[in-house]
Amino acid sequence: MHPSFWQIVALAIVQGVAEFLPISSSGHVVILATLLGATAEQFDVVELNIFLHLGTFASIVAYYWREILRLLTEDRRVIGLLVLGTLPAIAAALLLKATGFDHLLQSPLVAAVCLLATGMLLLWTSRQTGGDADYRKLPPLRALGIGIAQAVAILPGISRSGTTIAAGLKTELKPQQAATFSFLLALPAILGASIWEIIQRVRETDAGPQLSISWLLGGALIAAVVGYASIGVLIRVLEKKRLHYFAWWCFLAGGGMLTYLATR
C-alpha cells in the first residue's frame, strides 16, 4: 500500500508546516499515518521522502538566499559551525541504525510522548529572552551544543526547529539569529537525509518507480510553498516572543494520540 494522491497532499502540507513550526514534522507524519489507518512504514516511500525533503530544502534556500550567498563570501566561518553542528545528528542516526532502535522513529506512542516533551520545552522558552549575540560569531562549542539539540530531534515528536532555537536562545543568540542559524543548520541535515535515501533507493536495483513523478513534483511544490510561509510565520512569532504558544498544540496532539492509542 502506498499513499494516494490526497494523502500525498496532506503529507506535503504537514511537512511544510511542521518542518519549520516547532511542532515536529516526523511526529505529525507518524500520527497522520495512524489516523488514516496506515502505518508509518506504508508512508515511508523513499521517492516521496526525497521529494518532500527537497521541497522544504528549497523553501529555506528561497527564504535565506542572501544569508546563503554570504556563507560563500564573508561568512565562510559559519560553514565550519554548520558542519560541527551537523555531526551529532549523523552520530545519532548511525547509533540508532547500529543498535536496531531505529524502529522507534515510526512509533505513534514515541511520537505522542515526545510531542508532550516538546510542549514542555516550548513553555520553557517563554522564560528565555535570548541575548544580543550574532550567529556568525558563535563559539564552536555552542554551535556543537545546538547540534546536539538537533540530534535529539531525530525522535518523532521532538521538534527540530523548537530544540535548536531554544538552544540558540540559551546560548544568548538574538531570537532572529537563533532562527537563522537553526534553518541554516537544517540545510545539511535535510540534504544529508535526502542523499542517504537516494543511496538506499539506488540499492534497490530491482524496484521500479512507486509513485507518479507528477505526484512527487506536486508534493514537493506544496511542501516548498507551505514551508516558505511557515518560516515567515515562525519569524513573526519569535519577534513577538510567543514561541511557547505552540506548546498547547503539542499537548493537544500528543495527549490526543495517547488517548486514541489507549482506547482503540
Q: Does the predicted model carry a pTM greater than 0.95?
A: no
What integer pLDDT is reported at residue 83 of this predicted model? 95
3-state SS assignment for residue 30: helix
Q: Alpha helices of 19-139 — where are they, by DSSP H?
A: 25-35, 40-43, 46-63, 65-71, 77-99, 108-125
Alpha carbon 54 to its chain's center: 12
C-alpha distances (whole Å) from 7 to each of 1, 29, 33, 125, 231 are 12, 11, 9, 33, 23
What integer pLDDT is reported at residue 21 of this predicted model? 94
What is the number of structural domains in the chain? Answer: 1
What is the band of 44 on the pLDDT scale with cuts at 50, 70, 90? low
In the chain, the percentage of residues whose pLDDT exceeds 90 is 58
pLDDT per residue over 224-262, tens digit each? 999 999 999 999 999 888 999 999 999 999 999 999 999
What is the band of 143 on the pLDDT scale with cuts at 50, 70, 90? very high
- Whether 154 contacts 93, CB under 8 Å: yes
What integer pLDDT is reported at residue 139 of this predicted model? 94
What integer pLDDT is reported at residue 113 of this predicted model? 96
**Cell (9 digits) for 74:** 564573508
What mean pLDDT is reported for the chain? 88
Q: Answer whether residue 184 shows pLDDT above 60.
A: yes
Choose the most confident range, by mean pLDDT, from 43-47, 95-99, 158-162. Answer: 158-162
- Whether 15 contacts 29, CB under 8 Å: yes
Please return the burial class of 255, using the count of CB atoms within 10 Å of its CB with bins 0-12, 13-18 and 19+: middle
End-to-end Cα distance, the chain? 22
Residue 98, domain extent:
5-263
Lowest mean pLDDT among 96-105, 131-140, 224-233: 96-105
Q: Answer whether residue 205 shows pLDDT above 80.
A: no
Backbone φ/ψ region at 37: left (φ over 0), alpha (ψ -120 to 50), beta:
left
pLDDT per residue over 66-93, tens digit each? 999 999 888 999 999 999 999 999 999 8
What integer pLDDT is reported at residue 82 of this predicted model? 96
